Amino acid sequence: MIDSGELRKGITIELEEKLYQVLDYQHIKIGRGSAMVRLRLRDIRGGHTIERTFQASERFTRARLDYRTMQYLYNDGDLHYFMDQETFEQMPIAASQLGDTLNYLKEGMPLEVSSYK
């Protein structure tokens, strides 16, 4: 668990059983009231962006992501194949999960891929 004061751009959190990446963070103090935290979040799986406001005292669950170096191999229809540089295991990923990244992929290109659970 992390406090709202520890949130920064790029951190991935679990919220309502979904993974979100923090795109923007604002700490807001309103008059005599308690401080608030306004977050702009991107749903990792769905890709849509939301804005939410929380009490500054709230705590969040930081997502534990596994990072691996992989090499982009090729595409076969809607699937794009990557190879783990350590185990040489090939992993297919759907084009819908890659989003705009597809525009930048070249065969043989090394990348850092994050996975969750």
Q: Is the pLDDT assigned to residue 115 strictly greater than 90?
A: no
Question: Is residue 12 within 8 Å of 39, Cβ to Cβ?
Answer: no
- Quote the pTM value: 0.70
Question: 79-96 burial string, b = 16+ CB within 10 Å, else e?
Answer: ebebeeeeeeeeeebeee
Domain 2-62 sits in CATH at: 2.30.30.30
Q: Where are the domains positioned within the chain?
A: 2-62, 65-116
Q: Is the pLDDT assigned to residue 49 strictly greater than 80?
A: yes
Residue found under tokens 């991935």: 12
- By the 10 Å C-beta count (0-12 exposed, 13-18 middle, 19+ buried), 36 is classed as middle
Mean pLDDT confidence for 5-18: 90
Mean pLDDT computed over every residue of the chain: 89
Record: fold of 65-116: OB fold (Dihydrolipoamide Acetyltransferase, E2P) (2.40.50)
Instruction: Note the pLDDT of residue 45.
Output: 80
Mean pLDDT confidence for 62-89: 92
